[in-house]
Chain A
């Protein structure tokens, strides 16, 4: 029973952690510039709908990743067999957080080491040793909005798009007492509650979108006759885009949980020295099941201004996006006196409106000859990241450098090079990141092809 429970807890923990993997960039050109996004670098996921109206420039129009990391992974990878003596669950977690598509140049030391527990009748001390590294100082937050796959087709200034949309978020917060006991090996004491709260939400929908992107303002420059690219011809241009969307909700679920254990006068006296409390309220709806499908609307809007080879962009994705559901609400409570869970249905068919958080991207760039200097700020659910980078072209050779502030609020550094061969270029980048369960700095080598 407990064995299964342990596996469930582990799977849950790692499933919740998977959201961090979205920070992995497979475009070596963008990665070498610190992950910055501009209208011609790395905007293949549509961070600004107005970019669609900007003429294709010399800076590239697409990227094909080269997953060299798979070779490294096949040569040396952690075991997934929990019976194996070398099984390390934190290494497995890092594979999920950091899919082996790039070559790992260095990684944080693996979480290892002996764990010590001291138990006396009125004393309990847990020294997690190296495992302390995976317990954050603050709450553990994972999640994001993912537009997975889909397709789009442009008809002049109009485009149609359809894509699955997944939004997941989870925030686990340990009480100060519990965090101190686990992180700092502070002994557990009597008459103290050691608790945690968890807020989890997941929703999935299919987005059907019709968009329109166009040039709203234009003042020609003298150089435009030689170069139609507004990024580099010195013209003043304003491009706007808007794409309302219909959201067909497939499933929604959330859970608000509070749990804890309150110690008695003496930690291990009597037959029942701790009082356990657990209370969870869930809300759900699913197509083909309780509540059926949901429906909603939303939009992506954006603008980008070019002035004297300076670019300023603002993109809002999922602006005002919300889905209406008919939900079932249940409460699951644990009664310490009877040692049993009870589930009660609080509501059935209750109307509920879920929101998709807005992702805001503000980017700036300046082109000077064949040099690009750029920066951006991306604000989404739970996290704000910042990127800055530069690209210098010398003939067919490009050198790149950049830095960023990642979702763990750590500074990361990047550099790379590329060589262009006609319509195709090959790019390499080395960049640091903290996409691991230890939230410590590692480095990776990424390779990709650029399409010009």
Chain B
């Protein structure tokens, strides 16, 4: 609970200067277990819209920020790499955020939906920038939140095997003072 007390104490200095913004950039990826950033997928036979849940995790965010600020917008930068050893497919990489009291983040509408295409023996890099997401702003200004990553694969050639690595997950929240 006390994890970010030093930052909370600085907030009066940060938020007292006119009609300006507090720009909070959080490298969410760095807070995740390194092993959860990487997932090996293996789909030997045709299964429509096979879903791979890469991870679902809780985040401890900046305690106290929401007490003195209000989020006006948030954006998200996501990047991932697919090292596909066999098979071909199309698919979607989905990022979810939810409040800490949610049982699972996957019941919400995904914040980001990144389409991709996998080819045998090729590395595919995908990325996207999600701009001005009110839902994301709402979630990230609480003390805790849940984040989840899901991959949906629609195969055309089997077996589909490879490794997915999440390489970037950065959220930027723009807040205004609310003393």
Contact = CB atoms under 8 A, between A and B. Distances in A.
B13 A119 contact: no
A76 interface: no
Interface stretch (A17-25, A94-102, A266-274): A266-274
B60 interface: yes
Interface centre among A121, A123, A271 (most CB of B within 10 A): A121
Contacts of A130: 17
Given A268-B60, A274-B2, A126 B10 contact: yes
Contacts of B20: 112-115
A304 B68 CA distance: 57
Interface of A: 1-3, 5-7, 9-10, 13, 82-83, 85-91, 110-124, 126, 128, 130-131, 134, 182, 194, 261, 268, 271-274, 276, 339
A87 B62 contact: no
Interface of B is mostly: mixed
B123 interface: no
Given A2-B68, A6-B179, A116-B25, A89 B16 contact: yes
Interface string B23-54: 11111001100000000000000000000000
For chain A, what secondary structure do more than half of its interface residues adopt (helix, strand, loop), or is it mixed? mixed
Interface in B56-89: 60, 62, 64, 67-68
7 contacts: A9-B12, A13-B12, A86-B19, A115-B14, A121-B31, A131-B13, A274-B6
Contact of B5 (A114, A131, A261): A261
Contacts of A86: 18-19
Task: Output the residue of B4, B17, B22, B67 with the most chain A CB within 10 A.
Answer: B17
Nearest to B15: A115
A196 to B, nearest CB: 10
B11 interface: yes
A334 to B, nearest CB: 10
Contacts of B8: 2
A13 B13 CA distance: 10
A412 to B, nearest CB: 26
Contacts of B16: 10, 87-90
A115 B23 contact: yes
Given A194-B6, A268-B60, A274-B3, A119 B18 contact: no
B9 interface: yes
Contacts of A114: 20-23
Contacts of B3: 268, 271-274
A434 to B, nearest CB: 20
B2 to A, nearest CB: 6
B27 A121 contact: yes
B67 A3 contact: yes
A80 B98 CA distance: 37
B17 A112 contact: yes
Contacts of A91: 18
B9 A9 contact: yes
Contacts of A118: 25, 27
Given A271-B60, A272-B3, 7 more contacts: A13-B12, A87-B16, A112-B20, A115-B23, A117-B7, A130-B17, A339-B2
A113 B179 contact: no
A122 B30 contact: yes
Nearest to A261: B6
A2 B67 contact: yes
Nearest to A85: B19
Given A116-B25, A123-B27, A88 B179 contact: no
Contacts of B27: 118-121, 123
Kindly name the residue among B3, B12, B67 whose own CB sees the greatest number of chain A CB atoms within 10 A: B12
B64 A2 contact: yes
Nearest to A86: B19
Nearest to A92: B16
Contact of B68 (A6, A116, A134): A6
